[in-house]
Structure 1
C-alpha cells in the first residue's frame, strides 16, 4: 500500500507540472530599411539595406503603382540582390509612381515598405553633356558636345574663366550643342564647365561637369611677328658671333697660327749633313744632277742629204756643248 500511494503521489506531481513551451517559429520578418530611389539620366534604381536572419536566404519583391494602376510587379520578384533597376519601357518618365519592397523567407514575409512618390522628369539627375571637341581661334573657343539623354527640352549653359584669374563668366541657356566663348585673349588658357537642364514647370537643373581647359590660338599677325623676331634674333646672334670670333683671332693670332700651321721639318739628308759637315753631300747632289740627261732624243724622219747634213751639224754642236759643260 505505501508503494501504491507513493506512485499515485508521483503521478499527481507530474500531471501538475506545466507543459514546456513549444518551439516558436517567426511569424514575420523584419521589413527592409533605408529604402531609397537613385536616378541618374533616367537610369532608375531602388536600393535598401539587407534583412539579416540566422538561417536561410532572404528574397525580396518590388512592386509599383501609379495613379491609374494599382500595385503591379516589375522585373524584381524573388530576387536576392538588395537593389532593383526599375528602368522599364512600361514605366513612362512622365508618370508619378510609388514603389514598395518586402522581404520573404519561405512562407514568412515582412511588411511592405513604400517610397515617396517618384516623378522621373523631375527627380532624376540630369548629368552634364560630353565634350566632343574644342575649336580654338585667336579670340574664341567653340565647344562641341553631345547630351547624355535624348530629350527635346534640354538646354545648356557654360561657365568659363581665365585660368590665371577667378573671375567667372556664364553664357545664356541654349538648345545648341555648340557654344562659342567669344572676345577672349589670344594665346591664353581658359577653363570651363558645362551643365544641362530639363525645361519643365520646375526646371530640373543638373550639376556642372568637371573642369576642362584649352588655349586660344594665335593670329596671323602675331605669328608673322614671332617669325620676324626669330629672324632678327638669329641675324643679331650671327653678327655677334662673327665679331667675337674676329676679336678672338686678333687677340690669339700667334696661338691660332701655331695650332693650324704645321712646324717646318728639315729634309733628312740636310739634317744629317748639319750633324756631320764632312759628309760629301753636295758632291753627291752635283753628280746626281750631272748624270741626268736634260736633252730630248732625236729621230731621223728623212733621208735627204740636206736633212742629214743639218742633223750632223746639230749633233756636233750638242756634243761640243756637253764637253764644255764637263770641263
Structure 2
C-alpha cells in the first residue's frame, strides 16, 4: 500500500500563550474521505514530557502555553475513508518556536523598572543630603590622627633625660669661647703682677700694631 506523507506546515503565529498553526494536507481527499491531524508538542527541545491533541481542521491552536518558553511540535496525518478505514501517515519534522511576552507582563516589567529607578534616585539623593548635612563631621573623622613629635615623646617618657640633654651642649662648648673671671683679694701681689703683665703685653701688642699701620 502507498505511504501517506506528512502534512506541510504553512504558517505558525506565535503569541504569549499559544501557537496558531496552519497546515496543508499531503494530497486532496476524495468525497467522503477526510484527514485528521495528530499533534504532539512539548516544552523545550529536550523535554521528554509530551502532550497530544487531535483535530480535523487545517487551522488549529496549541494553547495554555508559558510565556517566553520554547515549544516544539510535530504533526502526523491520518486518512479516514468513507468505508471507515484509518491510514496513518508519516510524522513531520519537529519545529520549534518561542512564545512571546504578554502585554500585562510587559507592563509589570516597565512598572518594576521605573520603581527601581525611583528607589535608586531616592537613595542617591538621601546620600548626598546626608553628606551635605554632616560634611564637617565626616571631614573631622577622615583626618589622620595627630602624632606627637619624637623629642616631645621622649620628654614625656623620661623628663630627667630631656633636661640633661638640654644642659649638655653648654658643657661641650669650646673652652676658648668661655669667659674666665678672676677674683683677686686685696693686697694680693700675684694677682696684681699677673694683671700688670697681661696689661703690659696687651699694650705692647697694640703699640706694635699701630707702628705697622
Q: TM-score of the superposition, structure 2-length normalised? A: 0.51
Aligned to 1:222: 105
Aligned to 1:191: 72
> Are the structure 2 counterparts of residues 213 and 247 from structure 1 closer, same or farther at C-alpha, using a change threshold of 3 Å?
farther
Aligned to 2:40: 159
Aligned to 2:57: 176
> Are the structure 2 counterparts of residues 195 and 239 from structure 1 closer, same or farther at C-alpha, using a change threshold of 3 Å?
same
The correspondence of residues 274-289 of structure 1 with structure 2, limited to 5 A, is: none
> Are the structure 2 counterparts of residues 151 and 226 from structure 1 closer, same or farther at C-alpha, using a change threshold of 3 Å?
same
The correspondence of residues 208-247 of structure 1 with structure 2, limited to 5 A, is: 208-242=91-125
Aligned to 2:149: none
Q: Could you say what secondary structure the match of 2:90 adopts?
A: coil
Q: Could you say what secondary structure the match of 1:207 adopts?
A: strand
Bigger fraction of residues in helix = 2
Aligned to 1:128: 6
Residue 243 of structure 1: CA displacement?
5.3
Aligned to 1:148: 26
Task: Structure 1: give runs of 5+ residues left out of the alignment.
Answer: 1-122, 253-327
CA RMSD of aligned residues (A): 2.7
Q: Could you say what secondary structure the match of 2:48 adopts?
A: coil
Distance 1:211 1:244 in 2: 56
Aligned to 2:15: 137
Q: CA deviation digits over 1:67-122, x for unaligned, max 9?
A: xxxxxxxxxxxxxxxxxxxxxxxxxxxxxxxxxxxxxxxxxxxxxxxxxxxxxxxx
Task: Structure 2: give runs of 5+ residues left out of the alignment.
Answer: 140-213
> Are the structure 2 counterparts of residues 244 and 208 from structure 1 closer, same or farther at C-alpha, using a change threshold of 3 Å?
farther
> Are the structure 2 counterparts of residues 199 and 238 from structure 1 closer, same or farther at C-alpha, using a change threshold of 3 Å?
same
Distance 1:150 1:209 in 2: 18
Distance 2:70 2:58 in 1: 22
Distance 1:128 1:238 in 2: 59
- The answer to which structure, 1 or 2, has the higher relative contact order (CA under 8 A, 6+ apart) is 2
Residue 239 of structure 1: CA displacement?
3.4
